[in-house]
């Protein structure tokens, strides 16, 4: 059965990280079955692994043209694989596919993450008697025996299958959409697209690893219902992306709302298209002392795309909360529920160096990467930071409410060339009779609702005691208010319509 992406894309390393690919020049059951076991254990919830036989490698990269795999050996290898797969405890059978590239054949062993981990495998599957069994996991791009701490953690993962990869007994395989599944295969240039034309829904779901169970009691997986059913909300209420525009800030009454529903990958692409057309604006900055001009945007699309894709990827779909995109005068906020993995700290985001310990939605991540809607492991935050920097925008902000981790916010501040101005028309109705320092505080709050008191004091070159006094006065006059705590809250203008 063919794999879900083209062999060319698989070898390129663009869609599948190196930690999930292993190249083998020849069929070597001993080392290959160790890696099968490691991929099946999926210690860090990364998703499927691929072993490609018939490809030499150098420093982890495939050498082209490939050396090739003799297709006449396929039947023999398939028979051997059945025997070796039954030696794994519990038994695990990967999927084999003969693929063509560089005018040669290669054997691809596709290893979806197992549903009854942990798995053990003999150190040498070819030994007849007195086999020594060990667990195997992936550590970066290597297959290793876990240490005692890792082994204990692996055993604790028993039955802890990520939500997206669990079966849904409240739905039927027929609730999946045949057309949506084939559309994905077409976009990923999979050979399975042409092979699927004569398949039933159940056969295609099985081929794409979207269902599980005995033939008479086969159920779809949650990832299938989220990505390949017409109405995921039927099974997961409030699975949607809400884009809400607040032209005068959250404290104002006026707002515009656009809701995106349907398969989650369609929600993502539709919401991004809407934001690109309706929200993102460009500007050319020319200079008198040089010919080259700067092309900037109020928000760089690459940062917005990565931030929203990450929200879709990492959202907890067990919670009945939509993904929120708040378009404010001074920033775009992307809010997802619940918060990030407990292994990540606020300080990690402040440094811009993220290493997720274990992924929440391994299958959703696979499919989004195959569609090139998100990048590889741990690259999301650095991509957002670099995109904002290249656009001469302020640095993005990442917030989670430690230790509860009920939400995660990615804030993209607007480029200074597009920031809201303190126009006279707005000021006349809002700041009449205020002292100059109080007018400046209102200005700061309009432009940067999350600005701290210490930052205001620094910019105004006055003491924090004076700032406190002015803020108290503005609160008494019912002009500003504080929403949320001192660390994670924001200022709001009450009378800014």
One domain for residues 167 and 276: no
Residues 90-116 have pLDDT tens digits of 999 999 999 999 999 999 999 999 989
Q: What pLDDT is stored for residue 255 in this prediction? A: 85
Final residue in a domain of this structure, among 418, 437, 452: 418
Residues 359-382 have pLDDT tens digits of 789 899 999 999 999 876 667 788
Choose between 477 and 334: higher pLDDT.
Answer: 334
One domain for residues 128 and 193: no
CATH number assigned to the domain comprising residue 461: 1.10.10.10
Final residue in a domain of this structure, among 142, 159, 176: 159
CATH number assigned to the domain comprising residue 104: 3.30.950.30
- Tokens representing 35 are 């890696």
One domain for residues 317 and 439: no
Residues 12-67 have pLDDT tens digits of 988 888 889 999 999 999 999 999 999 999 998 888 999 999 999 998 899 999 99
One domain for residues 272 and 188: no
CA torsion sign for 212, 218, 223, 224 is positive
One domain for residues 130 and 270: no
Q: Would you say residue 425 has pLDDT above 90? A: no
Instruction: Name the band, by pLDDT with cuts 50, 70 and 90, for residue 357.
Output: low
One domain for residues 340 and 442: no
Other C-beta atoms closer than 10 Å to the C-beta of 137 total 23
Choose between 360 and 75: higher pLDDT.
Answer: 75
One domain for residues 294 and 324: yes
CATH number assigned to the domain comprising residue 369: 3.30.565.60
* Parent domain of 205: 162-231
Q: What pLDDT is stored for residue 422 in this prediction? A: 45
Final residue in a domain of this structure, among 357, 384, 418: 418
Residue 336 Cα distances to 244, 317, 379, angstroms? 14, 10, 18
Residues 235-244 have pLDDT tens digits of 999 999 999 9
Q: Is residue 236 part of a domain?
A: no
Q: Reading across the β-sheet that carries 331-336, which strands appear in turn?
A: 256-260, 241-245, 323-327, 331-336, 408-413, 397-400
Classify residue 106 by its DSSP letter. E
CA pair distance 202, 293, nearest whole angstrom: 56
Q: What pLDDT is stored for residue 354 in this prediction? A: 59
CA pair distance 143, 25, nearest whole angstrom: 17
One domain for residues 121 and 196: no
One domain for residues 392 and 248: yes
Helix (H, G, I), strand (E, B) or coil at 433: coil
Nearest Cα neighbor of 492 from 328, 336, 335, 333 is 328
Backbone angles phi, psi at 357, to 5 degrees: -75, -45
Q: Would you say residue 423 has pLDDT above 60? A: no
One domain for residues 403 and 304: yes
CA pair distance 332, 27, nearest whole angstrom: 52
Q: What angle do CA 397, 357, 268 make, to 5 degrees?
A: 55
One domain for residues 12 and 59: yes
């Amino acid at each position: 059965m063919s794999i879900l992406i083209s062999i060319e894309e698989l070898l390129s390393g663009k869609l599948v990280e190196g930690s999930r690919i292993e190249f083998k020049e020849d069929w070597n059951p001993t080392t290959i079955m160790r890696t099968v076991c490691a991929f099946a254990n999926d210690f860090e919830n990364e998703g499927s692994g691929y072993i490609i036989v018939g490809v030499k490698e150098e420093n982890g990269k495939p050498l082209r043209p490939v050396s090739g795999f003799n297709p006449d050996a396929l039947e023999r290898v398939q028979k051997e694989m059945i025997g070796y797969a039954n030696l794994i405890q519990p038994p695990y059978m990967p999927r084999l596919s003969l693929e063509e590239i560089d005018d040669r054949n290669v054997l691809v062993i596709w290893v979806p993450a197992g549903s009854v981990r942990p798995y053990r495998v003999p150190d040498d599957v070819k030994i007849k008697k007195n086999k020594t069994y060990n667990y195997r996991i992936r550590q970066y791009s290597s297959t290793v025996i876990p240490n005692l701490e890792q082994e204990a953690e692996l055993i604790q993962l028993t039955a802890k299958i990520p939500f997206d990869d669990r079966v849904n007994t409240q739905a039927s395989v027929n609730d999946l959409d045949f057309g949506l599944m084939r559309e994905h295969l077409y976009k990923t240039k999979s050979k399975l697209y042409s092979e699927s034309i004569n398949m039933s829904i159940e056969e295609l779901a099985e081929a794409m690893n979207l269902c599980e169970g005995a033939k008479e009691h086969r159920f779809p997986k949650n990832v299938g219902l989220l990505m390949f059913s017409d109405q995921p909300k039927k099974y997961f209420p409030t699975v949607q992306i809400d884009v809400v525009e607040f032209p005068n800030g959250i404290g104002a009454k006026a707002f515009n709302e656009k809701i995106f529903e349907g398969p989650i990958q369609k929600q993502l692409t539709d919401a991004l298209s809407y934001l690109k057309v309706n929200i993102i604006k460009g500007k050319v900055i020319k200079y008198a002392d040089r010919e080259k001009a700067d092309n900037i945007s109020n928000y760089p699309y690459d940062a917005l795309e990565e931030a929203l894709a990450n929200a879709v990827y990492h959202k907890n779909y067990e919670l009945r909360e939509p993904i929120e995109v708040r378009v404010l005068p001074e920033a775009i906020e992307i809010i997802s529920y619940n918060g990030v993995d407990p292994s990540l700290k606020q300080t990690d985001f402040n440094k811009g160096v993220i290493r997720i310990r274990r992924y929440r939605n391994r299958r959703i991540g696979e499919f989004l990467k195959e569609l090139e809607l998100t990048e590889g492991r741990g690259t999301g935050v650095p991509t957002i930071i670099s995109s904002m920097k290249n656009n001469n925008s302020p640095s993005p902000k990442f917030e989670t409410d430690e230790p509860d981790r009920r939400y995660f916010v990615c804030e993209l501040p607007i480029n200074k060339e597009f920031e809201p101005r303190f126009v006279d028309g707005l000021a006349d109705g809002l700041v009449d009779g205020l002292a100059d320092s109080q007018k400046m505080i209102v200005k700061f709050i309009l432009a940067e609702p999350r600005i701290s008191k210490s930052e205001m004091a620094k910019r105004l070159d006055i003491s924090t005691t004076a700032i406190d006094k002015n803020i108290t006065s503005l609160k008494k006059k019912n002009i500003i208010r504080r929403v949320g705590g001192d660390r994670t809250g924001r200022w709001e203008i009450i009378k800014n319509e």
